[in-house]
Structure 1
Amino acid sequence: MGLASRLMVLAAGLIGLGASPVSAQPMPVVPTGAKVTLQQTAGRDLDQDRISAQLRVENEAVSPAEVQDAINRGMARALEKARAVASVDAETAGYSLYRDTERGVWRGSQELVLDSADAPAVLDLVGALQAEGFVSSQIGYYLSREARERVTDELIVEALAGANGRLEVMSGAVDSKGFAIEAIDLSPQAEIYPRMRAARAEAMTADAYAPPVAEAGTTRVEVSLTVTARLFP
Protein backbone atom coordinates (compact mmCIF):
# COMPACT_ATOMS: atom_id res chain seq x y z
CA MET A 1 0.00 0.00 0.00
CA GLY A 2 1.36 3.35 -0.98
CA LEU A 3 1.77 6.36 1.30
CA ALA A 4 -1.32 8.09 -0.05
CA SER A 5 -3.45 5.00 0.61
CA ARG A 6 -2.15 4.63 4.18
CA LEU A 7 -2.97 8.32 4.96
CA MET A 8 -6.51 7.83 3.64
CA VAL A 9 -7.02 4.79 5.88
CA LEU A 10 -5.67 6.69 8.96
CA ALA A 11 -7.98 9.63 8.31
CA ALA A 12 -10.98 7.32 7.98
CA GLY A 13 -10.11 5.70 11.31
CA LEU A 14 -9.94 9.04 13.10
CA ILE A 15 -13.32 10.06 11.70
CA GLY A 16 -14.74 6.78 12.90
CA LEU A 17 -13.42 7.37 16.43
CA GLY A 18 -14.90 10.86 16.47
CA ALA A 19 -18.28 9.43 15.53
CA SER A 20 -18.22 6.73 18.20
CA PRO A 21 -21.12 6.90 20.68
CA VAL A 22 -19.04 8.00 23.71
CA SER A 23 -21.11 10.35 25.98
CA ALA A 24 -19.38 13.68 26.87
CA GLN A 25 -19.09 14.54 30.61
CA PRO A 26 -20.05 18.17 31.49
CA MET A 27 -17.39 20.26 33.33
CA PRO A 28 -18.47 21.45 36.78
CA VAL A 29 -19.36 25.16 36.82
CA VAL A 30 -18.93 27.28 39.96
CA PRO A 31 -21.86 29.68 40.15
CA THR A 32 -20.87 33.34 40.44
CA GLY A 33 -23.06 36.35 41.00
CA ALA A 34 -22.92 40.02 40.21
CA LYS A 35 -19.90 42.02 41.32
CA VAL A 36 -20.70 45.21 43.19
CA THR A 37 -18.42 48.13 44.08
CA LEU A 38 -19.62 50.93 46.30
CA GLN A 39 -18.20 53.82 48.28
CA GLN A 40 -19.17 54.56 51.87
CA THR A 41 -18.22 57.66 53.84
CA ALA A 42 -18.54 58.38 57.54
CA GLY A 43 -17.71 61.69 59.19
CA ARG A 44 -17.91 63.64 62.40
CA ASP A 45 -17.45 67.25 63.47
CA LEU A 46 -15.00 67.52 66.37
CA ASP A 47 -14.29 70.47 68.62
CA GLN A 48 -10.83 71.91 67.99
CA ASP A 49 -8.76 71.09 71.05
CA ARG A 50 -5.50 73.04 70.60
CA ILE A 51 -4.53 76.63 69.94
CA SER A 52 -1.55 78.03 68.05
CA ALA A 53 -0.30 81.60 68.06
CA GLN A 54 2.40 83.16 65.91
CA LEU A 55 3.98 86.44 66.95
CA ARG A 56 7.01 88.38 65.78
CA VAL A 57 9.41 90.91 67.24
CA GLU A 58 10.52 93.66 64.86
CA ASN A 59 13.22 96.30 64.98
CA GLU A 60 15.04 98.75 62.76
CA ALA A 61 18.29 100.68 63.21
CA VAL A 62 21.15 102.22 61.25
CA SER A 63 23.41 99.21 61.73
CA PRO A 64 22.52 95.51 61.37
CA ALA A 65 24.24 94.73 64.66
CA GLU A 66 21.83 97.03 66.54
CA VAL A 67 18.83 95.34 64.90
CA GLN A 68 20.08 91.87 65.72
CA ASP A 69 20.88 92.79 69.30
CA ALA A 70 17.44 94.28 69.89
CA ILE A 71 15.70 91.25 68.34
CA ASN A 72 17.81 88.80 70.35
CA ARG A 73 17.09 90.58 73.61
CA GLY A 74 13.37 90.80 72.88
CA MET A 75 13.14 87.13 71.93
CA ALA A 76 15.12 86.06 74.99
CA ARG A 77 12.62 87.85 77.26
CA ALA A 78 9.69 86.32 75.39
CA LEU A 79 11.08 82.80 75.63
CA GLU A 80 11.71 83.25 79.34
CA LYS A 81 8.06 84.22 79.84
CA ALA A 82 6.76 81.39 77.66
CA ARG A 83 8.91 78.68 79.22
CA ALA A 84 7.71 79.68 82.66
CA VAL A 85 4.28 78.33 81.64
CA ALA A 86 4.60 74.54 81.67
CA SER A 87 1.44 73.91 79.62
CA VAL A 88 2.65 75.95 76.63
CA ASP A 89 5.16 74.84 73.98
CA ALA A 90 7.28 77.65 72.54
CA GLU A 91 9.74 77.72 69.65
CA THR A 92 11.34 80.33 67.44
CA ALA A 93 10.68 80.44 63.71
CA GLY A 94 11.68 82.56 60.71
CA TYR A 95 14.38 85.18 61.14
CA SER A 96 14.88 87.95 58.59
CA LEU A 97 17.32 90.87 58.26
CA TYR A 98 17.49 93.24 55.31
CA ARG A 99 18.46 96.79 54.37
CA ASP A 100 15.76 99.31 53.52
CA THR A 101 17.64 101.27 50.88
CA GLU A 102 14.95 103.94 50.55
CA ARG A 103 15.15 104.87 54.23
CA GLY A 104 18.79 103.95 54.74
CA VAL A 105 18.14 101.63 57.71
CA TRP A 106 18.34 97.95 58.52
CA ARG A 107 15.16 96.08 59.43
CA GLY A 108 14.74 92.67 60.98
CA SER A 109 12.22 90.36 62.62
CA GLN A 110 11.92 86.94 64.23
CA GLU A 111 8.87 84.79 64.88
CA LEU A 112 7.75 83.02 68.03
CA VAL A 113 5.25 80.15 67.91
CA LEU A 114 3.15 79.21 70.95
CA ASP A 115 1.13 76.00 70.97
CA SER A 116 -0.94 74.33 73.67
CA ALA A 117 -4.19 72.65 74.68
CA ASP A 118 -4.41 75.35 77.37
CA ALA A 119 -6.02 78.20 75.43
CA PRO A 120 -6.28 80.71 78.32
CA ALA A 121 -2.55 80.35 79.03
CA VAL A 122 -1.63 80.98 75.38
CA LEU A 123 -3.95 83.97 75.05
CA ASP A 124 -2.63 85.47 78.27
CA LEU A 125 0.95 85.09 77.00
CA VAL A 126 0.03 86.68 73.69
CA GLY A 127 -1.45 89.66 75.48
CA ALA A 128 1.64 90.06 77.66
CA LEU A 129 3.99 89.88 74.66
CA GLN A 130 1.90 92.31 72.64
CA ALA A 131 2.27 94.76 75.51
CA GLU A 132 6.06 94.41 75.08
CA GLY A 133 5.91 95.22 71.39
CA PHE A 134 5.39 91.81 69.77
CA VAL A 135 3.00 91.72 66.81
CA SER A 136 0.53 88.86 66.36
CA SER A 137 0.57 87.19 62.94
CA GLN A 138 -1.95 84.41 63.50
CA ILE A 139 -3.97 83.06 66.39
CA GLY A 140 -6.31 80.13 65.96
CA TYR A 141 -7.57 76.78 67.14
CA TYR A 142 -7.07 73.44 65.42
CA LEU A 143 -7.76 69.74 65.90
CA SER A 144 -4.87 67.70 67.26
CA ARG A 145 -3.59 64.60 65.49
CA GLU A 146 -4.34 62.52 68.60
CA ALA A 147 -8.01 63.55 68.57
CA ARG A 148 -8.30 62.78 64.86
CA GLU A 149 -6.73 59.33 65.25
CA ARG A 150 -9.02 58.45 68.16
CA VAL A 151 -12.13 59.03 66.10
CA THR A 152 -10.82 57.54 62.84
CA ASP A 153 -11.15 53.92 64.02
CA GLU A 154 -14.73 54.58 65.12
CA LEU A 155 -15.55 56.08 61.73
CA ILE A 156 -14.09 53.05 59.91
CA VAL A 157 -16.41 50.74 61.86
CA GLU A 158 -19.32 53.09 61.13
CA ALA A 159 -18.54 53.17 57.40
CA LEU A 160 -18.26 49.36 57.25
CA ALA A 161 -21.63 49.00 58.97
CA GLY A 162 -23.14 51.40 56.43
CA ALA A 163 -21.65 49.49 53.50
CA ASN A 164 -22.90 46.19 54.94
CA GLY A 165 -26.42 47.58 55.23
CA ARG A 166 -26.41 48.80 51.63
CA LEU A 167 -25.20 45.42 50.40
CA GLU A 168 -28.01 43.69 52.28
CA VAL A 169 -30.55 45.98 50.59
CA MET A 170 -29.06 45.29 47.17
CA SER A 171 -28.93 41.57 47.83
CA GLY A 172 -32.59 41.49 48.78
CA ALA A 173 -33.62 43.59 45.79
CA VAL A 174 -32.22 41.04 43.32
CA ASP A 175 -33.27 37.93 45.29
CA SER A 176 -29.65 37.05 46.01
CA LYS A 177 -28.86 34.41 48.61
CA GLY A 178 -26.33 36.72 50.22
CA PHE A 179 -23.03 38.37 49.51
CA ALA A 180 -19.34 38.15 50.27
CA ILE A 181 -17.01 41.15 50.59
CA GLU A 182 -13.93 40.66 48.41
CA ALA A 183 -11.97 43.87 49.01
CA ILE A 184 -11.98 46.99 51.18
CA ASP A 185 -9.87 50.02 50.33
CA LEU A 186 -9.45 52.93 52.74
CA SER A 187 -8.79 56.24 51.02
CA PRO A 188 -5.79 58.14 52.39
CA GLN A 189 -6.77 60.81 54.89
CA ALA A 190 -5.58 64.33 54.27
CA GLU A 191 -3.59 66.05 56.99
CA ILE A 192 -5.65 68.43 59.08
CA TYR A 193 -4.00 71.80 59.52
CA PRO A 194 -4.95 74.57 61.96
CA ARG A 195 -7.89 76.67 60.86
CA MET A 196 -6.64 80.04 61.97
CA ARG A 197 -9.20 82.65 62.94
CA ALA A 198 -8.68 86.32 63.53
CA ALA A 199 -8.32 87.28 67.17
CA ARG A 200 -9.29 90.58 68.72
CA ALA A 201 -6.92 92.42 71.05
CA GLU A 202 -8.05 95.12 73.46
CA ALA A 203 -6.22 98.43 73.88
CA MET A 204 -3.09 97.94 76.01
CA THR A 205 -0.60 99.99 77.94
CA ALA A 206 2.82 99.11 79.26
CA ASP A 207 1.37 98.48 82.73
CA ALA A 208 -1.79 96.63 81.77
CA TYR A 209 -2.78 94.39 78.94
CA ALA A 210 -5.80 92.39 77.86
CA PRO A 211 -5.39 88.98 76.22
CA PRO A 212 -6.80 88.64 72.69
CA VAL A 213 -10.15 86.96 72.18
CA ALA A 214 -10.33 83.79 70.05
CA GLU A 215 -13.06 81.18 69.68
CA ALA A 216 -12.61 77.49 68.97
CA GLY A 217 -14.53 75.99 66.07
CA THR A 218 -14.98 72.46 64.75
CA THR A 219 -13.09 70.35 62.23
CA ARG A 220 -14.70 67.73 60.01
CA VAL A 221 -13.02 64.32 60.10
CA GLU A 222 -14.05 61.80 57.42
CA VAL A 223 -13.09 58.33 56.24
CA SER A 224 -14.04 56.93 52.84
CA LEU A 225 -14.13 53.22 52.01
CA THR A 226 -14.36 51.52 48.62
CA VAL A 227 -15.98 48.12 49.13
CA THR A 228 -16.09 45.38 46.49
CA ALA A 229 -18.50 42.48 47.03
CA ARG A 230 -19.94 39.49 45.15
CA LEU A 231 -23.68 38.76 45.28
CA PHE A 232 -24.58 35.06 45.47
CA PRO A 233 -26.98 33.89 42.71
Structure 2
Amino acid sequence: MTNEKFSGVVTIFVVLLVGMMAGACTSVHAQQTLLPEGQTLITLSVTERMNVEQDLVIASLRIEAEDSNASVVQNRINSVMARGLEQAREANEVSQSTGYYNVYQYDRQPQGGRAETLWRGSQSLTLEAKDAQALLALAGELQAMGFVMNQLSYQLSTERADEVRDSLMESAIARATEKAERATRALGKSRFDIAVLDVDTSSDYSAPVMMRSMADTGSREMAPPNAEPGETEVTLNVRIQAVAQ
Protein backbone atom coordinates (compact mmCIF):
# COMPACT_ATOMS: atom_id res chain seq x y z
CA MET A 1 0.00 0.00 0.00
CA THR A 2 1.42 3.37 -1.00
CA ASN A 3 1.96 6.15 1.51
CA GLU A 4 -0.79 8.22 -0.16
CA LYS A 5 -3.32 5.37 0.18
CA PHE A 6 -2.24 4.62 3.75
CA SER A 7 -2.59 8.26 4.66
CA GLY A 8 -6.08 8.28 3.18
CA VAL A 9 -7.12 5.24 5.25
CA VAL A 10 -5.79 6.81 8.45
CA THR A 11 -7.64 10.02 7.69
CA ILE A 12 -10.93 8.16 7.19
CA PHE A 13 -10.40 6.18 10.44
CA VAL A 14 -9.70 9.35 12.41
CA VAL A 15 -12.79 11.03 10.99
CA LEU A 16 -14.94 8.01 11.92
CA LEU A 17 -13.46 7.85 15.43
CA VAL A 18 -14.07 11.55 16.04
CA GLY A 19 -17.64 11.14 14.78
CA MET A 20 -18.26 8.21 17.15
CA MET A 21 -16.84 10.14 20.10
CA ALA A 22 -18.95 13.14 19.24
CA GLY A 23 -22.06 10.95 19.00
CA ALA A 24 -21.30 9.35 22.38
CA CYS A 25 -20.80 12.73 24.00
CA THR A 26 -24.05 13.97 22.49
CA SER A 27 -25.85 10.86 23.83
CA VAL A 28 -24.44 11.34 27.35
CA HIS A 29 -25.29 15.04 27.26
CA ALA A 30 -28.83 14.22 26.12
CA GLN A 31 -29.24 11.76 28.98
CA GLN A 32 -27.95 14.28 31.47
CA THR A 33 -30.40 16.92 30.29
CA LEU A 34 -33.46 14.63 30.36
CA LEU A 35 -34.35 15.75 33.90
CA PRO A 36 -35.15 19.35 34.75
CA GLU A 37 -32.74 21.18 36.98
CA GLY A 38 -33.13 20.25 40.63
CA GLN A 39 -34.27 16.68 39.96
CA THR A 40 -32.14 13.54 40.51
CA LEU A 41 -32.58 10.05 39.06
CA ILE A 42 -32.31 7.28 41.67
CA THR A 43 -31.77 3.66 40.51
CA LEU A 44 -31.87 0.78 43.00
CA SER A 45 -32.88 -2.87 43.30
CA VAL A 46 -33.97 -5.26 46.06
CA THR A 47 -34.23 -9.06 46.27
CA GLU A 48 -36.76 -10.99 48.33
CA ARG A 49 -36.22 -14.67 49.23
CA MET A 50 -38.34 -17.39 50.79
CA ASN A 51 -37.72 -21.10 51.40
CA VAL A 52 -40.79 -23.08 50.37
CA GLU A 53 -41.53 -26.76 50.93
CA GLN A 54 -41.63 -28.70 47.65
CA ASP A 55 -45.10 -29.94 46.81
CA LEU A 56 -44.75 -31.99 43.60
CA VAL A 57 -43.26 -35.50 43.53
CA ILE A 58 -42.06 -37.01 40.24
CA ALA A 59 -41.08 -40.62 39.57
CA SER A 60 -39.52 -41.94 36.38
CA LEU A 61 -39.55 -45.71 35.83
CA ARG A 62 -38.61 -47.91 32.89
CA ILE A 63 -39.34 -51.40 31.63
CA GLU A 64 -36.42 -53.32 30.12
CA ALA A 65 -36.19 -56.49 28.07
CA GLU A 66 -33.46 -58.52 26.37
CA ASP A 67 -33.62 -61.46 23.96
CA SER A 68 -32.08 -62.83 20.78
CA ASN A 69 -35.35 -62.04 18.99
CA ALA A 70 -36.34 -58.39 18.49
CA SER A 71 -40.03 -59.26 18.40
CA VAL A 72 -39.83 -60.91 21.82
CA VAL A 73 -38.15 -57.82 23.28
CA GLN A 74 -40.72 -55.41 21.86
CA ASN A 75 -43.67 -57.61 22.82
CA ARG A 76 -42.38 -57.80 26.38
CA ILE A 77 -42.03 -54.00 26.60
CA ASN A 78 -45.39 -53.35 24.96
CA SER A 79 -47.36 -55.75 27.11
CA VAL A 80 -45.83 -54.67 30.43
CA MET A 81 -46.18 -50.98 29.55
CA ALA A 82 -49.85 -51.53 28.66
CA ARG A 83 -50.48 -53.12 32.06
CA GLY A 84 -48.51 -50.37 33.77
CA LEU A 85 -50.52 -47.60 32.09
CA GLU A 86 -53.77 -49.35 32.94
CA GLN A 87 -52.72 -49.50 36.58
CA ALA A 88 -51.56 -45.86 36.55
CA ARG A 89 -54.86 -44.58 35.11
CA GLU A 90 -56.70 -46.00 38.10
CA ALA A 91 -54.89 -43.51 40.35
CA ASN A 92 -56.85 -40.32 39.67
CA GLU A 93 -54.45 -38.18 41.71
CA VAL A 94 -51.47 -39.19 39.56
CA SER A 95 -50.73 -38.03 36.02
CA GLN A 96 -48.74 -40.32 33.73
CA SER A 97 -46.85 -40.02 30.45
CA THR A 98 -44.66 -42.39 28.47
CA GLY A 99 -41.14 -41.42 27.47
CA TYR A 100 -38.26 -42.63 25.34
CA TYR A 101 -38.72 -46.04 23.65
CA ASN A 102 -35.51 -47.59 22.33
CA VAL A 103 -34.61 -51.04 20.93
CA TYR A 104 -31.12 -51.84 19.69
CA GLN A 105 -28.87 -54.78 18.79
CA TYR A 106 -25.54 -55.56 20.41
CA ASP A 107 -22.98 -58.37 20.63
CA ARG A 108 -22.33 -60.00 24.00
CA GLN A 109 -18.97 -61.71 24.40
CA PRO A 110 -19.12 -64.36 27.16
CA GLN A 111 -15.79 -65.14 28.79
CA GLY A 112 -14.19 -67.94 26.79
CA GLY A 113 -17.24 -68.34 24.52
CA ARG A 114 -18.55 -67.19 21.17
CA ALA A 115 -20.07 -63.77 20.66
CA GLU A 116 -23.85 -63.75 20.89
CA THR A 117 -26.04 -61.21 19.10
CA LEU A 118 -28.87 -59.94 21.30
CA TRP A 119 -31.59 -57.33 21.23
CA ARG A 120 -32.16 -54.99 24.16
CA GLY A 121 -34.89 -52.40 24.65
CA SER A 122 -36.55 -50.13 27.18
CA GLN A 123 -39.35 -47.58 27.55
CA SER A 124 -39.87 -45.06 30.34
CA LEU A 125 -42.98 -44.02 32.25
CA THR A 126 -43.17 -40.75 34.22
CA LEU A 127 -45.56 -40.14 37.11
CA GLU A 128 -46.37 -36.76 38.68
CA ALA A 129 -48.59 -35.94 41.66
CA LYS A 130 -49.04 -33.62 44.61
CA ASP A 131 -50.43 -36.60 46.52
CA ALA A 132 -47.13 -38.25 47.42
CA GLN A 133 -48.65 -41.32 49.08
CA ALA A 134 -50.77 -42.14 46.02
CA LEU A 135 -47.77 -41.83 43.69
CA LEU A 136 -45.40 -43.83 45.88
CA ALA A 137 -47.95 -46.64 46.27
CA LEU A 138 -48.42 -46.75 42.50
CA ALA A 139 -44.65 -46.74 41.94
CA GLY A 140 -44.33 -49.79 44.21
CA GLU A 141 -47.01 -51.61 42.21
CA LEU A 142 -45.20 -50.83 38.96
CA GLN A 143 -41.91 -52.04 40.39
CA ALA A 144 -43.62 -55.33 41.24
CA MET A 145 -44.60 -55.62 37.57
CA GLY A 146 -40.96 -55.39 36.54
CA PHE A 147 -40.46 -51.64 36.16
CA VAL A 148 -37.11 -50.27 37.33
CA MET A 149 -36.89 -46.87 39.03
CA ASN A 150 -34.86 -44.28 37.12
CA GLN A 151 -35.28 -41.44 39.59
CA LEU A 152 -37.56 -40.19 42.33
CA SER A 153 -37.57 -36.51 43.24
CA TYR A 154 -39.52 -33.64 44.72
CA GLN A 155 -39.75 -30.17 43.25
CA LEU A 156 -41.76 -26.99 43.65
CA SER A 157 -44.81 -26.80 41.42
CA THR A 158 -45.25 -23.84 39.07
CA GLU A 159 -48.54 -22.92 40.74
CA ARG A 160 -47.00 -22.76 44.20
CA ALA A 161 -43.95 -20.84 42.93
CA ASP A 162 -46.21 -18.24 41.26
CA GLU A 163 -48.22 -17.85 44.45
CA VAL A 164 -45.07 -17.24 46.49
CA ARG A 165 -43.63 -14.81 43.92
CA ASP A 166 -46.81 -12.74 44.08
CA SER A 167 -46.43 -12.33 47.84
CA LEU A 168 -42.72 -11.55 47.46
CA MET A 169 -43.47 -8.92 44.82
CA GLU A 170 -45.59 -6.91 47.23
CA SER A 171 -42.91 -6.93 49.93
CA ALA A 172 -40.12 -6.23 47.41
CA ILE A 173 -41.92 -3.17 46.03
CA ALA A 174 -42.53 -1.93 49.56
CA ARG A 175 -38.81 -2.30 50.39
CA ALA A 176 -37.74 -0.62 47.15
CA THR A 177 -40.10 2.27 47.81
CA GLU A 178 -38.73 2.65 51.34
CA LYS A 179 -35.15 2.71 50.01
CA ALA A 180 -36.08 5.34 47.41
CA GLU A 181 -37.62 7.46 50.16
CA ARG A 182 -34.47 7.23 52.29
CA ALA A 183 -32.28 8.10 49.29
CA THR A 184 -34.50 11.10 48.59
CA ARG A 185 -34.08 12.37 52.15
CA ALA A 186 -30.31 11.78 52.00
CA LEU A 187 -30.17 13.95 48.87
CA GLY A 188 -32.01 16.72 50.69
CA LYS A 189 -35.05 16.36 48.45
CA SER A 190 -38.63 16.55 49.66
CA ARG A 191 -40.40 14.03 47.42
CA PHE A 192 -39.92 11.41 44.72
CA ASP A 193 -41.90 9.70 41.96
CA ILE A 194 -41.27 6.14 40.68
CA ALA A 195 -40.67 6.33 36.93
CA VAL A 196 -39.66 2.71 36.15
CA LEU A 197 -40.52 -0.54 37.94
CA ASP A 198 -38.91 -3.77 36.68
CA VAL A 199 -39.90 -7.12 38.25
CA ASP A 200 -37.58 -10.07 37.47
CA THR A 201 -39.13 -13.48 38.21
CA SER A 202 -36.67 -15.68 36.29
CA SER A 203 -35.60 -18.54 38.55
CA ASP A 204 -34.91 -22.26 38.38
CA TYR A 205 -37.01 -24.22 40.84
CA SER A 206 -35.86 -27.73 39.90
CA ALA A 207 -34.97 -29.94 42.85
CA PRO A 208 -32.12 -32.41 43.38
CA VAL A 209 -33.02 -36.06 43.00
CA MET A 210 -33.82 -37.84 46.27
CA MET A 211 -33.78 -41.60 45.80
CA ARG A 212 -34.79 -43.78 48.75
CA SER A 213 -35.72 -47.09 47.11
CA MET A 214 -34.64 -49.03 44.03
CA ALA A 215 -36.47 -51.81 42.27
CA ASP A 216 -35.86 -55.47 42.98
CA THR A 217 -37.38 -57.21 39.98
CA GLY A 218 -36.81 -60.64 41.53
CA SER A 219 -39.33 -60.02 44.29
CA ARG A 220 -43.08 -60.14 43.69
CA GLU A 221 -43.89 -58.47 47.02
CA MET A 222 -42.61 -54.99 46.48
CA ALA A 223 -42.58 -52.40 49.25
CA PRO A 224 -43.34 -48.90 47.94
CA PRO A 225 -40.43 -46.46 47.62
CA ASN A 226 -40.02 -43.61 50.11
CA ALA A 227 -39.40 -39.91 49.56
CA GLU A 228 -39.47 -36.77 51.68
CA PRO A 229 -39.85 -33.22 50.33
CA GLY A 230 -37.10 -30.68 50.70
CA GLU A 231 -37.24 -26.90 50.35
CA THR A 232 -36.74 -24.65 47.34
CA GLU A 233 -35.62 -21.04 47.60
CA VAL A 234 -37.91 -18.72 45.64
CA THR A 235 -36.41 -15.34 44.76
CA LEU A 236 -37.79 -12.19 43.19
CA ASN A 237 -35.85 -9.11 42.11
CA VAL A 238 -37.34 -5.64 41.79
CA ARG A 239 -35.50 -2.73 40.18
CA ILE A 240 -36.86 0.80 40.26
CA GLN A 241 -35.90 4.20 38.94
CA ALA A 242 -37.25 7.11 40.94
CA VAL A 243 -37.03 10.83 40.32
CA ALA A 244 -36.25 12.83 43.47
CA GLN A 245 -37.13 16.53 43.56
TM-score, L = length of structure 1: 0.81
Maintained 8 Å contact 2:147/2:215:
no
Map of 2:131 onto structure 1 = 118
Distance 1:202 1:80, change over 3 A: closer
Q: Does 1:217 align with 2:223?
A: no
1:73 alignment partner AA: S
Checking the alignment, whether the CA contact within 8 Å between 2:55 and 2:130 is kept in structure 1 is yes
| TM-superposed deviation, 1:173 | 1.9
TM-aligned CA distance change 1:113 to 1:61, over 3 Å: same
Cα offsets for 1:173-221 (capped at 9, x unmatched): 2221121111011224135334322223487864422111111011111
Within the candidate set 180, 192, 195, 2:205 is matched to: 192
* Coordinate RMSD, CA, aligned: 1.9
Kindly state the Cα deviation for residue 227 of structure 1 after the two structures are TM-superposed: 0.6
Residue 97 of structure 1 is matched in structure 2 by 103
Equivalent residues in 2 for 1:30-45 (5 A)? 30-45=36-51
Matches within 5 A, 1:10-25: none
Shift of 1:147: 0.7
Partner Cα distance (1:76, 1:193) in 2: 30
2-structure distance, mates of 1:143, 1:206: 33
The structure with the larger Rg is 1
Q: CA deviation at 1:120?
A: 0.7
Question: Is 1:53 the equivalent of 2:59?
Answer: yes
Q: Do the aligned partners of 1:140 and 1:199 also contact (CA within 8 Å) in 2?
A: no
Question: What is the one-letter code of the residue matched to 1:139?
Answer: L
Q: Secondary structure at the match of 2:164?
A: helix
Please state if 1:129 is matched with 2:142. Answer: yes
For residues 84 and 71 of structure 1, the distance between their equivalents in structure 2, rounded to whole angstroms, comes to 20
- Number of the residue aligned with 1:164: 177
**Whose helix fraction is larger, Structure 1's or Structure 2's?**
2
Moved more, 206-215 or 117-126: 206-215
SS at match of 2:209: strand
Report Cα offsets for 1:21-67 as digits up to 9, x if no partner.
xxxxxxxx954322111111112111111110000000001111110
Amino acid of the structure 2 residue aligned with 1:66: V
- Give, in whole Å, the separation in 2 of the partners of 1:61 and 1:207: 22
**Separation of aligned partners in 2, 1:171 and 1:39:** 15
**Partner letter of residue 211 of structure 2?**
A
Residue of structure 2 aligned with 1:74, choices 77, 80, 93: 80
SS at structure 2 position matched to 1:87: coil
Q: Which amino acid aligns with 1:78?
A: G
Opposite residue 179 of structure 1, the aligned amino acid is F
4+ runs deviating over 6 angstroms: 202-205
Q: How far apart are 1:142 and its partner, in Å?
A: 0.9
Q: Output the TM-score relative to the length of structure 2.
A: 0.78
Task: Provide the C-alpha distance between the structure 2 equivalents of 1:60 and 1:201, rounded to a whole number of angstroms.
Answer: 20
d(CA) in 2 for partners of 1:86 and 1:132?
20
Secondary structure at the aligned position of 1:164 is classed as: helix
**Counterpart in 2 of 1:176?**
189
* Corresponding position of 2:22: none
Structure 2 unaligned segments of length 5 or more: list them: 1-34, 109-115
Residues 46 and 218, structure 1, Cα contact 8 Å, conserved in 2: yes
Q: Which amino acid aligns with 2:100?
A: G
- Retained in 1: the 8 A contact 2:207–2:232? no
Identity %: 34
Q: Is 1:83 the equivalent of 2:89?
A: yes
The answer as to whether partners of 2:147 and 2:217 remain within 8 angstroms in 1 is no
